[in-house]
Homo-oligomer: A and B are copies of this chain.
Amino acid sequence: MNRTEISTLGEFGLIRHLTDKIELKNKSSLKGVGDDAAVLDYKDKLTLVTTDLLLEGIHFDLMYVPLKHLGYKSAIVNFSDIYAMNGRPKQITVALGISKRFSVEDLESFYEGLKLACDIYGVDLVGGDTSASLTGLTISITCLGEVEKGKEVYRSGAKETDLVCVSGDLGSAYMGLQLLEREKHIYKGEKDFTPDFTGKEYLLERQLKPEARKDIIDALEKAGIKPTSMIDISDGLSSELLHISKESNVGCQIYEDRIPIDFQTAAMAEEFNMNLVTAALNGGDDYELLFTVPLSLHERVASIKGIKVIGHITKAALGNYLIGRDGGEVELKAQGWNSLK
């Protein structure tokens, strides 16, 4: 593969090169990359904005994450935040900090992934910033979205007796990460080592190339369901449920045997001798939607493919509990982010 030094293009040349053939897809995107700011026309809809920072060595390891996948995922995690407001992502801006280690081709791969995600989800890349970095790759993405007034869903609307629902399955992305970490350790020093991931493709895909649940937002809309509260699961089910409880001033009970877990996740947990429920409760990177709906909508929500009812909302005083298969109760704890410890 060719290696073109970034210095041959310079900052402005680089941005132009990477954002060259980007066509704007959304009516609300009046002016994209190439001025001091992008210009958007939102008329009478609400504008949503979310931002994420991804740092090499903390959020990704380039030893096993291809740059194209990283571009794709960087966009997806932001789209997911917009869907979690019951909105639709429309624009992203991308700021990159790049050390000398990276070539123009590397950044092309990253942008290829970004653009692919944007194409699939109908989002416009409208701006950005590119900087030199002393240490590795820094990715900052901001996503703008829109939602009809009155349709926005916050974390704070859950009510007693509401049903707790979750999309897809949990813990698979975490197991994918464990698998990659193990292979990395095995790989070290062995030149001819080619890891065999047969039968574990789903776990890798969940970790390396996750999707945002546009389909679930579409399905809820089609079914005429507006969740009372919603959040996307990036730090693990426990942590996100506690956000909803805290913001809504309620408690919750969820049932161990209702938590959706894929077969590959279960098999991998056994192979690693890990607790499967812990992985599903505290594993990150799922990007599924966690939401609550009124009890009266039980049949309607339970009949939607890919959504599972896993429990219900209680009074705040009752706390937040997982009811085990044996009927025992375990208090839910946030096990999210603790890299600063």
Contact = CB atoms under 8 A, between A and B. Distances in A.
A142 interface: yes
Contact of A91 (B49, B138, B334): B49
Q: Which of A5, A53, A136, A243 has the most CB of B within 10 A?
A: A53
A55 B134 contact: yes
Given A10-B337, A35-B155, A37-B49, 12 more contacts: A12-B334, A12-B336, A36-B50, A37-B81, A37-B143, A42-B43, A49-B49, A51-B93, A53-B96, A57-B134, A93-B142, A140-B140
A87 interface: yes
A34 to B, nearest CB: 7
Given A53-B96, A95-B140, A48 B44 contact: no
Interface of A: 5-7, 10-12, 30-31, 34-44, 46-59, 81-82, 84-85, 87, 91, 93-98, 100, 126-129, 131-136, 138, 140, 142-145, 147, 149, 152, 154-156, 230-232, 243, 247, 334, 336-341
B37 A131 contact: no
A337 B132 contact: yes
Q: How many copies does the complex hold?
A: 2
A51 B128 contact: yes
A293 to B, nearest CB: 18
Given A36-B232, A98-B340, A155-B36, A134 B46 contact: no
19 contacts: A10-B338, A30-B46, A36-B81, A37-B50, A37-B82, A40-B48, A49-B49, A49-B126, A49-B144, A51-B94, A51-B95, A51-B129, A51-B140, A53-B95, A55-B132, A58-B131, A58-B134, A138-B140, A140-B140
Given A47-B47, A133-B58, A154-B35, A53 B85 contact: no
B84 A36 contact: yes
A1 B145 CA distance: 42
B47 A42 contact: yes
Contacts of A338: 7, 10-11
Contact of A142 (B138, B142, B247): B142
Contacts of A94: 51
Nearest to A102: B340
A149 B30 CA distance: 11
A59 B11 CA distance: 15
